Structure formats: C-alpha cells, structure tokens
Amino acid sequence: MVAATVGLRGLSLCTLSLPILRSAKIKLPIHSFPTSRSLKPLFSPYNPTILRGFPSFCASPDVNVEATATAPPATEAENSQSADDIKNAANLLDIRVGRIIKAWRHEEADSLYVEEVDVGEPEPRIICSGLVKYMPLDLLQDAKVVVLANLKPRNMRGVKSCGMLMAASDASHETVELLMPPDGTIPGERIWFGTEDDKDSQPEPATPNQVSPASLQSFLKL
C-alpha cells in the first residue's frame, strides 16, 4: 500500500458533479487529452434521495429512478450527511497514478489493448482496456494514466486484467479519452477526494472483493 497521495482539484474534460468535490478546496488538477467535444461527468449527478442510506460503493442498491422524480427535496442537514457518505465511499477506492510501460493489441480480442502498467508496486500490472476504436496504440506508449487498482482480477479472453484505466467519454460514447494525472506525480501515488487537509487522514481502500464495476455504476461512468 502506498503512503503518498495526490490531491484531486478537478478534471479538465471530465467533471465531478458531487457537491463535496465541487465545493472543496482541492489541489492538483487531473487533465485528459484535449478535445473540442463536451464530455459527460465521471460521476453521476448527485441525488440525495437515491443515495440516502447507501454507505459505500461496495453495496449494489436497486435504484428506482422514476420513483425519486417527485420525491421531496432533502434538507440541508441531509445533503451534508449524504455528501459526507459519498466522500467516505469514494475514499474506499484505490485510485493511483500509473505509467504505461508498454502496450499492444490483444491477440484474441480485436477491441482490446493490453498494457503493462507501473502503479508503484514491485512488478507492473497487466491491464486490458477496450480502447482500440477510441485511440491509436502509440498514444498509450509511456503515457501517464489514472488507474483504479482495487478491482478483482478479471480474465479477459485469456489475459488476466488487474485493474482499470480511468477515462471520460462524451454523451454518445463515441469519444473516449484517458484521464491524465498532474505533472510531477509518480506511479503509485494515491489520488484522494477532499481538501489538502484530508491528505493525511485517508482511510484504507476497500479490498478487491468489496469493489466491482457493477457496484460503481451508480456513481462512475465506466
């Protein structure tokens, strides 16, 4: 587990719509590759009714969006509590700075790249990404990236993928671009949610058995 952390001030092309992240005095931007198209938020729009009673990303509630359309607005106290719950849940994610050492086409899957990624561990991780139709292979070579590191390993057409490269897309999902950590960061540094003062009080991230892409889809557009 790495001790260093990297502050999250915002995303230049992929926005965070959670109030706790909009209002905090957050350090260091995360950039993505430049584009003229608008991108949808990395996080879904905040809805306190949907999130009320949801303690962490590790749960998978059955959310009825239509039922919440006419729900009464939450009080200021409820909004504050829900925002704290979201921040605490986000802190369970092990999101790190990474650097792609090399990348190549998956031999058994036309839509996948395979990347060898340095995330600050003794050995690089192998990660599969469905990015073939969105960006050329040479764009990945030696690129600094943002990695969700505490997912369970997943077999993807014969290759064990141990993590996920984080990206943003437009509403049509026709343009997908990798998030890029700030200059000066090094592989393995953890990205935190909150202010500079929160840097030294981050909780331990959840174990891979507690985090899955399905459990994150209410909050992250994966």
- Per domain, the residue ranges of the chain are 95-189
Query: Residue 180 in 3-state DSSP?
Result: strand
Q: Which residues contact 93 (CB under 8 A, 6 or more apart)?
A: 57, 148, 150, 205, 206, 211
Count CB atoms within 10 A of the CB of residue 3: 9
Each residue's pLDDT tens digit, 94-140: 999 999 999 999 999 999 999 999 999 999 999 999 999 999 999 99
Each residue's pLDDT tens digit, 20-75: 333 333 344 444 444 444 444 444 444 444 334 433 333 334 444 443 444 556 56
User: Could you give the CA distance from residue 78 to residue 147 in angstroms, rounded to a whole number?
Assistant: 32
Class of domain 95-189: mainly beta
How do beta strands 5-6 and 190-191 pair? Answer: parallel
User: Could you give the CA distance from residue 186 to residue 200 in angstroms, rounded to a whole number?
Assistant: 18
- Nearest CA to 219 among 34, 134, 38, 95? 95
Question: Is 60 exceeded by the pLDDT of residue 90?
Answer: yes
pTM, rounded to two decimals: 0.60
